[in-house]
Structure 1
Amino acid sequence: MRKKSIIIIFAVFVLDRITKYFIVKNFYLGESVAVIENVFHITYITNTGTAFGLLQKYGNILLIFSIIAIILISILIFIKKDISRLNQIAFSFILGGAFGNLFDRIFRGEIIDFLDFRIWPIFNIADSAITVGIIVLFYHSLFSKKISE
C-alpha cells in the first residue's frame, strides 16, 4: 500500500503543477474565461493564504505549518503500521495537495488558483485533493465507528 500512496502523492502533485503551469503560461493575472457562463470559469488569481484564500496575512506562518503538516502526515502514511487503507489513501491526497501548494509558497511566495465556480472562493487542484482527503477522513471516522459497534 505504501507504493500506492507514493503514486497518489506524485499524481496529485504533478497534476497540480501541470495545471498551474498551463494557467501561468496562457492567462494573465486576473483573466477569467467562462467555461459554463455564470457557473464555472477559469480565473487566474494568486493568494498567500490557505485553501480557498483563507488566512491571507499569515504567509510565513503557513509555510512553517505546511512543512510540519507534511512531516506529520508522512509519518502517518509511511511509518505508522495500523493505519487503515482508506485513511492512508485520504492522507495521500492531502499530502499530494500540501506538496503542490508548498511548492508554490516556496518558489513563488504565493499560491496559484484558477478553478472558479462563482459561488465559492477560487481554488486549485491541490486544494481539491486536500479537501477530498479531509472529507474521506471525516466520513471514515463517522461511519467506521458505527460499523464496528
Structure 2
Amino acid sequence: MKKFLTQGRLATLIVVAVLVIDQLIKISVKTNMALHQNIHITDWFYIYFTENNGMAFGMEFLPKIFLTLFRIVAVGLITWYLHKVTTHSEKFKTGYVVCLAFILAGAIGNIIDCVFYGEIFSQSTASSIAQFVPVGQGYADWLHGRVVDMFYFPIIDTFWPDWLPIWGGQRFIFFSPIFNFADAAISCGIIALLLFYSSYIGKSVNGEDKVVENKKSEK
C-alpha cells in the first residue's frame, strides 16, 4: 500500500503553508502600518515595517528588474530539481526534500512581492498606510514591486569601547538586518541542508546511483 504523504506531497504542503503564512504577514503589515513604523514586542524583538528592492535581508547589488528575473529563473531551477528528487524518493532522505521545499517556498514568497505588489498596492510612506488598489494603479510596474520586511531582532544593542581603533564609540547592533518569513524559510532551509544533507548536494537524480537508504530499515 502506497504512502499517502509522499515526498512530493509533503513538499507541496510545505510550500503552500509557507506561502500562505508569509503573504498573510506581509499583507497585514503593509495594510496596517506606515513605512518605518515599529511595534515593540520586547527589547530584542520588534515588528519594524520596511521595504527593499534587493535580495534577502535587504541586500542590493543589481538593478531591480535583474533581481526579479534572477529570482524567477532560480525558482524554476529549484522546482525542476525538487521534482526530480521527489521522483527518485528512494535515493533522498525526507529531510533533504523538506530543506529544498523551504528554500523554494521562501524564494516564491519574495517573488510574489516583486511581481505583484507594485501593481496592487498604493505607496507606503511614513505618513500613509498602503491600500489595495485596482490593478495598474499601484506604486510600480510589474516586476518592480518592493519586498516587505518586518522582523527585527536587535539582540545586542550597545556601543564599541572608545579606545577601540576605527569603531570606537560607534553603535553596534546584532542582529541588525530586517527580514521576513520567506527570508527565514530560505535561511533555515539552507543552513539545515548544509549541516545535515551536504552529501546530497549535486547527487545524480537520474536513477543510476546506488540507493542511499536501506528500504528495509524504513519499513
Say yes or no: TM over 0.5: yes
Tell me if 1:128 matches 2:180.
no
Give the alignment partner of residue 98 of structure 2, picking from 89, 107, 115: 89
Counting aligned pairs with the same residue, the percent is 31
Give the alignment partner of residue 53 of structure 2, picking from 40, 43, 48: 48
- Give the RMSD, CA atoms, in angstroms: 1.7
User: Distance between the aligned counterparts of 1:13 and 1:106, measured in 2?
Assistant: 15
Structure 1 residues 56 and 30: CA distance shift in structure 2, 3 A: farther
User: Distance between the aligned counterparts of 2:45 and 2:64, measured in 1?
Assistant: 28
Which runs of 5 or more residues in structure 2 are unaligned? Answer: 1-6, 118-144, 155-174, 201-211, 213-219
Tell me if 1:138 matches 2:176.
no
Within-5 A mapping of 1:55-70: 55=60, 57-70=62-75
SS of the residue 1:120 aligns to = coil
Tell me if 1:4 matches 2:10.
yes
Tell me if 1:98 matches 2:107.
yes
> Which has the larger helix fraction?
1
What are the Cα deviations for residues 91-147 of structure 1, in whole angstroms up to 9, with x where unaligned? 100111111100001112110000011222100000000001101111124588xxx
Report what 1:22 is aligned to. 28
What residue identity is the alignment partner of 2:30?
V
What residue identity is the alignment partner of 2:71?
S
User: Distance between the aligned counterparts of 1:49 and 1:133, measured in 2?
Assistant: 20
User: Distance between the aligned counterparts of 1:84 and 1:142, measured in 2?
Assistant: 12
Which runs of 5 or more residues in structure 1 are unaligned? Answer: none
User: Distance between the aligned counterparts of 1:24 and 1:139, measured in 2?
Assistant: 35
What residue identity is the alignment partner of 2:82?
I
Report what 2:41 is aligned to. 35
TM-score by length of 2: 0.62
Give the alignment partner of residue 107 of structure 1, picking from 111, 116, 130: 116
User: Distance between the aligned counterparts of 1:24 and 1:140, measured in 2?
Assistant: 36
What residue identity is the alignment partner of 2:34?
Y
What are the Cα deviations for residues 19-55 of structure 1, in whole angstroms up to 9, with x where unaligned? 0011012111110111002x11000000000110012
Q: How many residues align?
A: 144
Higher relative contact order (CA 8 A, sep 6+): 1
Equivalent residues of 2:96, 2:197 under 8 A apart = no
What residue identity is the alignment partner of 2:149?
D
Report what 1:79 is aligned to. 84
